Amino acid sequence: MKTTKLSNGNWTIGGDGPLAVIAGLNVLEDVGLALEVGSELKRICSDLGLPYVFKASFDKANRSSITSYRGPGLDKGLGMLARVKSELGVPICTDVHEANQSERVAEIADLVQLPAFLCRQTDLVVAMAEATQAAGGLLHVKKAQFLAPRDVKNIISKVGEVAPDLGVIMCERGTSFGYNNLIVDMLGIGAMHDLDVPVTIDATHAVQLPGADPRTAGASTGGRREGVPIIAKSAVAAGADGVFLEFHTDPDAALCDAPSCLPLTGAADLLKTLKLIRELVTTG
């Protein structure tokens, strides 16, 4: 199985290595919260011997409502992420939504993330791939909710055409199933592995109920927080090389996707369990 790592060696995913962790906040709220969550997750991953990347979005562009909280924006958000990176000494993962953001984001982010809804946008894929390769990072690609696992070969091919030395990681995050629901086909993890890329599971977004939050009469996305550990454990058992998880000190008060994020107090127990599952899978 392929192993992919950052050029500075600070983070590795795949092969028979330990479970890689991409975790943090759904969206940046304030720098204090980001440092608190990142510091605790770094400590937990260090204790468990798991490679860790801090994740947070500076903008959530695909909101259900125009009034929904989107984040601090590009300038302020990248400043906050740079501070987390500097003070905690951890790699950073964040999203790009527009091609002209690619170079600036790649200067800060070690894992540059391509959102699921945008993963077939060729101009965006090309801009992100070129900028990320130039900066020495990795590209984390969310599989769209409407794509079959094997169809991501076309995304990987586009990246290879313009950035042949760039490491690509594919992320499973659920597939649309009728209205207001997502399912995860665990066989898809193996199908994407067959394309010679590491695979992560976004267990947080896989439990979303798109446009079905009863608190806002459908003006925001609902979720099933209790399902996150189930999806995460199942995916790691199916061979996922890494997990993508979102936490909050007060999940119900989170400004974005509150029904899907986990309490920070439960991170240690969940990651310990996921580590054990990964070890069972890789050692046979």
Q: Which residues contact 69 (CB under 8 A, 6 or more apart)?
A: 27, 60, 63, 255, 256
The active-site residue out of 26, 55, 202, 275 is: 26
Count of alpha carbons within 13 angstroms of residue 231, beta-carbon side: 27
Rg of the chain over all Cα atoms, to the nearest angstrom: 17
- Pairing between β-strand 12-14 and β-strand 3-5 as defined by DSSP bridges: antiparallel
The type of residue at 9 is: G
Cα–Cα distance measured from residue 34 to residue 45, given in angstroms and rounded to the nearest whole number:
16
- Assess whether 60 carries a catalytic annotation: yes
Cα–Cα distance measured from residue 73 to residue 58, given in angstroms and rounded to the nearest whole number:
5
The active-site residue out of 42, 60, 233, 275 is: 60
The active-site residue out of 95, 202, 241, 257 is: 257
Q: Is residue 17 within 8 Å of 2, Cβ to Cβ?
A: no
Residues annotated as part of the active site: 26, 60, 257
